[in-house]
Amino acid sequence: MSPAISLQSEKRMRDSQPENQYQNGVKHLCENGIKKVPEKYIFPVTDRPDTRKESHSNKTNIKLPVIDFAELQGPNRFQVLESLTDACEQYGFFQVVNHGISTDAISSMTDVCKRFFELPFDERHKYMTTDMKAPVRYGTSFSQNKDGVYCWRDFLKVVCHPVPDVLSHWPSSPQDLREQAASYSMETRNLFLMLMRAILESLGLWSAEMNITKENDILEELQEGSQMMVANCYPPCPEPELTLGMPPHSDYGFLTLLLQDEVKGLQIQFEEKWLTVEPIPNAFVVNIGDHLEVFSNGRYRSVLHRVLVNQEKTRVTVASLHSLPFERVIQPSPQLITKENPRRYKDTDFATFLEYISSCDPKKKAFLESIKLC
């Protein structure tokens, strides 16, 4: 058999799944015993991870700055704030330990999310929609409507604030999902608000001693702000070198608090290299979102990150994304605009973001680039 015929046969094999099968998600494909990555999921060669290089080198791992939350609340607050400032300026990412959320709460949330993805397909499919404004959304890839190439991920997204208004929309199975997710969302929300106080203080916009903010009660607005939780499932992939769990992107909000399991997969772009984040048990990976980059007028940067998949284990993560209320205009803090650091971004809001990603491929930091002034 000639190489050309062999490639044609392989392509026919990869494309044998009907198009609507992809819309049902990679978990469903795996449950049907798929042996090869379909053509729809194969990334261009230039965008694929170099798994051979990464598996033979420790230089592709990165230890993010670690913020000890207990120390942040104690007499060493000033020194921890300096570390936080450096992490936000240099990395756009850090890990938080001793944060006060119990290991039982963390393990219970991870467990119930795993059990959701293990439900029969018909049960998961009840929540499948491409409506980005839906309070509950089960889906696949990054953007089912716009992705030219699908990524190897299924997700469950739930709007979390205010909990009493949205709880009845959340999945009723597994039976304890609503209870566990409601408790977890409130605990991560409190952690987010305390981290934002520290970040505002590091920007010179809040005083811990006087408990005041120079920034038009931004903390009060954040207390009533938006929160979305995203449970991500990355099933074992037969050919992980051909695809990604998520493509390079930045997050749209102020902060994202990510709970990882023990399986590596998250990579960040640092000094023009893709580096794998080493998980710390029960720690949160926190990253700067686009809104905080805008609000800080570019001092703190959102950073591109992506997700690798593997051939052996399912990886499940839970991300909690936080920002101002959906209707609130996001703009640079007037206190951070000077002659030396002029205004760098246009005003924006969540509706503008949704309109943008509904009409464009959500690639890298394209939305943020679209509102830059200089």
Judged by DSSP in three states, 197 sits in helix
State pLDDT tens for residues 210-249.
566 655 578 889 999 999 999 999 999 999 999 999 999 9
Residue 10 pLDDT class (50, 70, 90 cuts): very low
Looking at residue 146, what is its pLDDT?
75
Closest alpha carbon to 97 in 65, 61, 138: 65
Q: Which residue would you say has higher pLDDT here, 369 or 186?
A: 186
Average pLDDT of the segment spanning 52-81: 83
Q: Which residue would you say has higher pLDDT here, 74 or 152?
A: 152
Closest alpha carbon to 174 in 130, 232, 115, 231: 115
Count of alpha carbons within 13 Å of 228, Cβ hemisphere only? 22
State pLDDT tens for residues 109-162.
999 999 999 999 999 999 998 887 899 999 998 777 777 899 999 999 999 999
Q: Which domains does the chain have, with CATH numbers?
A: 50-370 (2.60.120.330)
Lowest mean pLDDT among 205-209, 237-241, 367-371: 205-209
Peptide bond into 75 cis (omega under 30): no
State pLDDT tens for residues 330-353.
999 999 999 999 999 999 987 888
- For strands 227-234 and 154-159, give the pairing: antiparallel
* CB contact at 8 A, 156 and 230: yes
- b (16+ CB within 10 A) / e for 201-238: bbbebbeeeeeebebeebbeebeebbbbbbbbbbbebe
What are the structure tokens assigned to 270, written together? Answer: 């640092």
- The partner residues of 258 in beta bridges, in order of sequence, read 285, 319
Residue 24 pLDDT class (50, 70, 90 cuts): confident
State pLDDT tens for residues 25-45.
999 999 988 999 999 999 999
Q: Which residue would you say has higher pLDDT here, 305 or 367?
A: 305
Residue 11 pLDDT class (50, 70, 90 cuts): very low
pLDDT at position 167 over 50: yes
How does DSSP classify residue 35? -
d(CA 151, CA 144): 10
pLDDT at position 373 over 90: no
CA distances from 256 to 26, 62, 130, 295 (A): 24, 19, 22, 15
Residue 367 pLDDT class (50, 70, 90 cuts): confident
Residue 194 pLDDT class (50, 70, 90 cuts): very high
Looking at residue 102, what is its pLDDT?
95
| SS3 of 238-287 | CCHHHCCCEEEECCCCCEEEEECCCCCCEEEEECCEEEEECCCCCCEEEE
Reported pTM: 0.90
pLDDT at position 204 over 50: yes
- b (16+ CB within 10 A) / e for 288-315: bbbbbbbbbbbbbbbbbbbbbbbeeebb
Question: Is the CA virtual torsion 57, 58, 59, 64 positive or negative?
Answer: positive
Q: How does the average pLDDT of the chain come out, rounded?
A: 88
State the CB neighbour count (10 A cutoff) for residue 103.
Answer: 9
Please state, for a pLDDT cut of 90, what percent of the chain lies above it. Answer: 71
H helical segments located in the chain: 3-14, 19-23, 26-31, 51-55, 69-72, 77-90, 103-117, 121-125, 163-166, 177-202, 218-223, 290-295, 350-359, 366-370
Residue 3 pLDDT class (50, 70, 90 cuts): very low
pLDDT at position 4 over 60: no
pLDDT at position 52 over 70: no
How does DSSP classify residue 231? E
d(CA 267, CA 51): 12
pLDDT at position 7 over 50: no
d(CA 26, CA 233): 9
State pLDDT tens for residues 87-100.
999 999 999 999 99
d(CA 140, CA 154): 4
Q: Which residue has the tokens 């467990």?
A: 111
Looking at residue 250, what is its pLDDT?
93
Closest alpha carbon to 312 in 236, 234, 233, 235: 236
